[in-house]
Amino acid sequence: MTEHTTSSPTYDVLICGFGPAGAVAAGMLGARGHSVLVFDRLTEIYDKPRAIAIDHEILRHLDNMGIADEVMPYIAPFTASEHFGAEGQLIRHIDMVPPPYPLGYTPSMVFTQPPVEALMRRHAESFENVTVELGTELVGFEAAPESVVVTLKDHKGDMREVSARYLLGCDGASSRVRELAGIKLEDLVFDEPWLVVDVKVHDDALAKLPQASAQYCEPARPVSYVMGPGNHRRWEIMLSPDEDPRKMSQPDAVWRLLSRWLTPEEGELWRAATYRFHALVADDWSKGHVVIAGDAAHQQPPFIGQGMCQGLRDVSNLVWRLDLILKGEASQTLLDSYTVERKKHVQTLTGRIKAIGQSICERDPEAAAARDARILAEGGGKPLRMTRQDIVPPIERGLIAGEGTPARGVLFPQPVVSDEKSEQLLDKLTGPVWRLVLDGRRVALSDVAGLSAQFPGVDLRIIAPAGHSSNPVVLHERDGVLAAWFDKHGAVAAIVRPDHYVYGAAADTTQISTLLESVHTAIGA
């Protein structure tokens, strides 16, 4: 078919890829009033599950977007994960932190990707300033000093040029944007062949399956078992080097591997796919006005279910920066800290996941026995207990206060609070904005008089445990989550970023103004 070029409008942001990261980015940017064109070479959502885990940080962002209630029917709590050693003995127990939950939601969850992804897309499409084009692929782009000119080809083969301030690549592990930008991947040294199997288990067979998620750390054949929502169950099965991945993904071979748990008459094979679990991270995440996020920027083994979560962390970290830049409230250099923060976070988390994965994947029987003994010793002779939330690190470097500042880089809690009208989660009253949150037990409104006028871009909130203040401007928290947090960090105030990470906390009121000034300097305001 003859290709031709036509003119096109200018957008603030072009997004290549309409998977979860691209859809959430489009929705977040659309909600902030920016013009967006998001496109994908595919015309439909992949109808089988890939990601299966989501956590409280990500659900918090979905709630900020206004779609948490819609996705909840497709989400269930992630059961504890029990790790069994070479002899079948329980060696490790990974669970979630107990209630009251620090971010307001169940800390670890499983979900069904296709309907959740559809809701993410529908949210993005709801904005008049967001245009969606499916069956459209990226041919190439040229970077200008203040923009990017992109060549697109639609499903008919027609080509056109589109210009935008920024191009965001959310186009997966084989990212065309990353390739054309010349961004290289760093190998974090993990490469293992696995078979991933999803089954819709018949109701009468559910009781015979394990009632908690499990890792079978057996040298002969390491296996992960995940309880998904409803009757969805997943097995991730390590393959041997001499096994043909294509043959191992055929139904007969899959059911042979599952025979320990299930027969073909007891469930419907939903998906069977072979993968090589990799650990990779991009050298740079932005080049001029071209930025990457999600699988385009990193890939990691799935052992604690953080793959999609990491992509949506990228997006939440990036969008508030782009928002300030596009509004002229910050300079282009604000993007430098995006790479610094997210790359380090991915490297640290991937290192922890690799350690768990390498422990699970031990194929030498003697080494596996030694591993089991070591883990049990770490637990004082009992199965070692840990929480998934302890595995995910804080921000270690980037746009946070200097070393020694309390709470720098950690996620800020989201307590249930009440004002004169209602009781609800904190974000419902503040939104995802820069916030100064004060401990109402120790700080009075008179102590911070003038700060709102001095720093108009920062939302001021005072929170106290119920009964500690009668001042109507003070929010009262129900469960003491925030009070305990302030006590833990020895702080009376916290400066919180739009992505809910703490820039820094102040040990007393005299430090608050200094911290706020450093924020404005850091973002170029």
Question: Using CA atoms, how far apart are residues 44 and 492, in angstroms rounded to an integer?
Answer: 50
Q: Which residue has the tokens 């916030």?
A: 435
Spell out a b/e string for 81-90, using b for 16 or more CB atoms within 10 Å of the CB, else e. Answer: bbbbbbeeee
Local confidence band at 466 (pLDDT 50, 70, 90 cut-offs): low
Structural domain harbouring 420: 416-523
Number of separate domains in the chain = 2
Judge if 327 and 420 occupy the same domain: no
Beta-bridged to residue 90, according to DSSP, are: 84
Q: Is the peptide bond before 394 cis (omega within 30 degrees of 0)?
A: no
Segment 437-446 mean pLDDT:
85
397 in a domain, yes or no? no
Judge if 304 and 442 occupy the same domain: no
Return the pLDDT at 457.
75
Q: Which residue has the tokens 């992630």?
A: 78
454 in a domain, yes or no? yes
94 in a domain, yes or no? no
Q: What is the CA radius of gyration of the chain?
A: 24
Give per-residue pLDDT as tens, 375-389.
999 999 999 998 888
Judge if 295 and 441 occupy the same domain: no
Question: Using CA atoms, how far apart are residues 176 and 194, in angstroms rounded to an integer?
Answer: 25
344 in a domain, yes or no? yes
| % pLDDT > 90, the chain | 79
Return the pLDDT at 277.
81
Return the pLDDT at 6.
42
Judge if 298 and 435 occupy the same domain: no
Judge if 430 and 351 occupy the same domain: no
Query: Are the C-beta atoms of 68 and 380 separated by less than 8 Å?
Result: no
Return the pLDDT at 59.
97
Judge if 158 and 290 occupy the same domain: yes
Find the CATH number of the domain harbouring 132. 3.50.50.60
Question: Using CA atoms, how far apart are residues 341 and 339, in angstroms rounded to an integer?
Answer: 6
Judge if 331 and 446 occupy the same domain: no
Give per-residue pLDDT as tens, 94-143.
988 889 999 999 999 999 999 999 999 999 999 999 999 999 999 999 99
162 in a domain, yes or no? yes
Find the CATH number of the domain harbouring 482. 3.40.30
Query: Are the C-beta atoms of 162 and 70 separated by less than 8 Å?
Result: no
Compute the residue count for the chain: 525
398 in a domain, yes or no? no
Task: Kindly report the pTM of this predicted structure.
Answer: 0.94
H helices of 66-172, where?
Answer: 68-71, 113-125
Instruction: Tell how strand 474-477 and strand 459-465 pair up.
Output: parallel
323 in a domain, yes or no? yes
Return the pLDDT at 451.
78
Q: pLDDT at residue 175 above 60?
A: yes
Judge if 17 and 135 occupy the same domain: yes
Question: Using CA atoms, how far apart are residues 385 and 389, in angstroms rounded to an integer?
Answer: 12
Residue ending a domain, among 305, 330, 355, is 355
Give per-residue pLDDT as tens, 228-256.
999 999 999 999 999 999 999 999 999 99
Which DSSP string do the residues of 363-398 spell out, in sequence order? --HHHHHHHHHHHHHHTTTS-EEEEHHHHS----SS
Residue ending a domain, among 338, 355, 372, is 355
